[in-house]
Amino acid sequence: MTQLLSQDHANNGSLIPLEQLRHAPAFELRGGKVLYHVGCAPGSEPDSACGLFCCSTYMENDEVIKQDLYRVGGVLTTAILGDKNPHLCGMLMTTASGVLQHAFEPTYWVASFGDHDQVDQDVCTYADENADSDENTDSDSDSDSDSAIDISVLPCPTVGVTALAIDWQPAKIVATNLLHAWTRQETSAPAMCEYTLMKPRSWPQLENKFTFPGASGQSQTIDSYCADDELTAGPLSIVMDRSTLLGAYLVSGEISWNLPTNTTIRIRKIGLDAPLAYGTTGSWLVRGTAFCGMVVARSPECPSAYIITAEQIIKGMDMSDLRSVGVECSRKDESAEMTTAMGVERNEGSSG
């Protein structure tokens, strides 16, 4: 596994040379632009999308403002999507948090889920410009796993990460959905999900291959997804890369994650043997060969993390305006960009 090295912010923590960033596909947002790259060890030709590195970058005036490191969870296939959204087959999936959030509210980030589970810059939430933070400070310390949890917001840290020996390839953003961040925030909005879909310039024939530990070492392929009513508490595996699985345990019950924008997303908690490292959000989870969900937040000091389920993601795509073409936006009206180019969820019936 490629080594990750912490680095201070003196050189912006840049993972990818500026010259390479200048020539990558991007979409414009709030006066800046957002770019995605996927990567693997140099000289290798990956046959599995699971666990590829992903770097998202937010730039303004030819300067790197923020970068985040994730994992590609996998590639969308007919085995996962069925007959729905066939034009999305072959697209890579990762989390949409982090850099995209910075474009909207650079001074806020999600600090915690309650008293103990600290969440880092891997997961950020949109803070509405008109939201009163004082209205979101009350919480119930005795909440059960299926009750609502209020989040707090603190200044965003400025810690960068250098990934050594990664061959970065530009990726075209096909669609992104960040918890309704791009739309009006109706309290009646349906349960939400988050993801970014990308089309890589290289490696067009990727599959969702991984290897179970054991003497046989036989390759497996994700061939279905697990519906929510079948996703019971119990063991899961996090697919870190083609040959590495981490054991996890899915906790029973759901958590309603309250955002400052009066919207809610349902998440589930997993227990681990040790905390996940930075750069691991976006990883997919499997039970057997079924896709079960994606890691969207980790607890740096606790052996736990949070996921959205596979069914949430797939249903979110059904409710979203996903386009069959990639995004390479020129400067347009911002509202048109957010609605047309980025595959955002719409609430046509409740908008005024």
**CA-atom Rg of the chain in angstroms:** 19
Please tell me the distance from the alpha carbon of residue 258 to that of residue 148, in angstroms, as a whole number. 6
Please tell me the distance from the alpha carbon of residue 305 to that of residue 88, in angstroms, as a whole number. 28
pLDDT one-digit tens code per residue, 30-75: 788 888 999 987 777 789 999 999 998 888 888 888 888 899 999 9
pLDDT at 1 over 80: no
One-letter amino acid for residue 153 of the chain: V
User: Pairing mode, if any, of strands 160-163 and 74-75?
Assistant: unpaired
Distances (CA, A) of 4 to 96, 156, 161: 21, 21, 7
Most confident of 161-165, 213-217, 305-309: 305-309
Please tell me the distance from the alpha carbon of residue 309 to that of residue 266, in angstroms, as a whole number. 9
Give mean pLDDT, residues 160-167: 54
pLDDT at 281 over 70: yes
Backbone dihedral region of 8: left (phi > 0), alpha (psi from -120 to 50 degrees) or beta?
Answer: beta
Report residue 102's pLDDT band, with 50, 70 and 90 as the boundaries. low
- Give residues with Cβ within 8 angstroms of 97, minimum separation 6: 68, 122, 123, 124, 125, 178, 194, 281, 296, 297
Question: What pLDDT is stored for residue 211 in this prediction?
Answer: 92
Of 99, 72, 87, the closest CA to residue 295 belongs to 72
Residue, of 85 and 43, whose pLDDT is higher: 85
Most confident of 93-97, 150-154, 280-284, 334-338: 280-284
Give mean pLDDT, residues 130-143: 33
Q: Which range is least confidently modeled, 26-40, 79-93, 260-274, 317-331?
A: 317-331
Please tell me the distance from the alpha carbon of residue 48 to that of residue 243, in angstroms, as a whole number. 10
pLDDT at 113 over 70: no
Report residue 282's pLDDT band, with 50, 70 and 90 as the boundaries. very high
pLDDT one-digit tens code per residue, 250-271: 999 988 876 545 566 788 999 9
Give mean pLDDT, residues 171-198: 63
Q: Quote helix, strand, coil % in the chain, to nearest 5.
A: 15, 40, 50
On whether the CB atoms of residues 92 and 52 are closer than 8 A, the answer is yes
Q: Which two tokens stand for residue 131?
A: 């939201």
Question: What pLDDT is stored for residue 236 in this prediction?
Answer: 97
Question: What pLDDT is stored for residue 223 in this prediction?
Answer: 94
Question: What pLDDT is stored for residue 173 in this prediction?
Answer: 85
Please tell me the distance from the alpha carbon of residue 107 to that of residue 181, in angstroms, as a whole number. 16
* Exposed e or buried b per residue across 104-119, where buried means at least 16 C-beta atoms within 10 angstroms of its C-beta: bbeebbbebbeeebbb
Give mean pLDDT, residues 116-135: 29
Secondary structure (DSSP) of 83-136: TS-GGGTT-EEE---SHHHHHH-TT-EE-EETTTEE--TTS-----TT--GGGG
Question: What pLDDT is stored for residue 210 in this prediction?
Answer: 94
Question: What pLDDT is stored for residue 315 in this prediction?
Answer: 84
Whether the pTM exceeds 0.75: the reply is: no
Question: What pLDDT is stored for residue 212 in this prediction?
Answer: 86
Question: What pLDDT is stored for residue 178 in this prediction?
Answer: 63
Q: Which range is least confidently modeled, 7-21, 42-56, 97-111, 253-267?
A: 97-111
Question: What pLDDT is stored for residue 165 in this prediction?
Answer: 62
- Supply the mean pLDDT for the chain: 69
Report residue 337's pLDDT band, with 50, 70 and 90 as the boundaries. very low
